[in-house]
Amino acid sequence: MVNYNQGPVIVTGMVLQTSPVSDYDRRIVLLTKERGKITAFAKGARRQGSRLLAATDQFCFGQFKLFEGREAYNLIEASITNYFEELREDFDGAFLGMYFLEFADYYTRENNDEIEMLKLLFQSLKAVVKPTLDNRLVRVIYEMKAMVINGEFPGVPAKNSLSDSAVYTINFIVNTPVEKLFTFAVNDTVLAELSELSKQYIKRFIDRKFKSVDLLDTLGV
C-alpha cells in the first residue's frame, strides 16, 4: 500500500530492468543517486499513449517522481534526459549496454551510496555510442572500474607478467575519476592483456554468470 502522507520522492537515475505486471502495468528497477537500487511499479505504463510508456524502458536516464510504499515505490511521473536511443540501432552496442545493466544490478543495493556506480554506468553507455571508441576497451574499463568502486579490484597482480603499458593503464583506470576514464586508446596487445586479467578477476570475485556474456564473447565485444 502506498503511503501518500509522506509526499512524492524525486530521484535521479536509470532504468536497469523492466518487466510486465498484470495487463497494463510495469515493474522497473532503478539505480538512483539518492536511494541506490530501488523497485518501482508504473501503473498503466504499457497502455498505448501512456506518458510512462517510453520512460520505463531500459537505459532511460532522468528524474523519476515516486510515492514510497511498504515494499516498493510507485512511479507517477518521469522526465527523461537521455533515452540512449542509439543503442536500439546498434546490435553490438545494445548487448554491451545490457551487460552493463546486469553488472550494475548485481553490484548495487537499496539505500547504499551508489552514485559512483550510476556515474560509471552513464559514462560507459555514452562511450558505447561514440563510434570512435573501441567497445572492447569500454567493456574492460567498465568491468575494472566497477570492481574498484565496490572494493574488490586487487590491482596489478603480485606475480606481474604484464607489459608496462598494461600496468600503466590499470593504474590509470583505478585512480582516474569516472568522468575522465574514456579518454585513451590502447593497442590490441595491451587490450588482450587487460581483457584476460579482467576475466580472471570477474571469475574470482563475481559468483554469477551474466546472461549477455556468452553472446558478447561470440560477437568479440
Same fold, 4-82 and 86-215: no
First to last CA, the chain: 44
Report which of 71, 94, 76, 78 is spatially closest to residue 15, judged by C-alpha positions. 78
* Domain layout of the chain by residue ranges: 4-82, 86-215
Report which of 16, 32, 95 is spatially closest to residue 66, judged by C-alpha positions. 32
pLDDT of residue 97: 96
pTM of the model: 0.93
Half-sphere exposure of 12 (CA within 13 A, CB side): 10
Answer whether residue 5 shows pLDDT above 70: no
3-state class percentages of the chain: helix first, strand second, coil last, to nearest 5:
45, 20, 35
Please give the helix or strand (H or E) that residue 142 lies within, else none.
helix 135-149
Number of helices followed by number of strands (H, E) in the chain: 6, 5
Rounded Cα gap, residues 167 and 218, in angstroms: 27
Answer whether residue 4 shows pLDDT above 50: no
Answer whether residue 2 shows pLDDT above 50: no
86-215 has which CATH code? 1.20.1440
Q: Give the pLDDT confidence of 47-71 residue by residue, as tens digits.
A: 999 999 999 999 999 999 999 988 8
Fold category of 4-82 in CATH: OB fold (Dihydrolipoamide Acetyltransferase, E2P) (2.40.50)
Q: Give the pLDDT confidence of 65-92 residue by residue, as tens digits.
A: 999 988 889 999 999 999 999 998 898 9
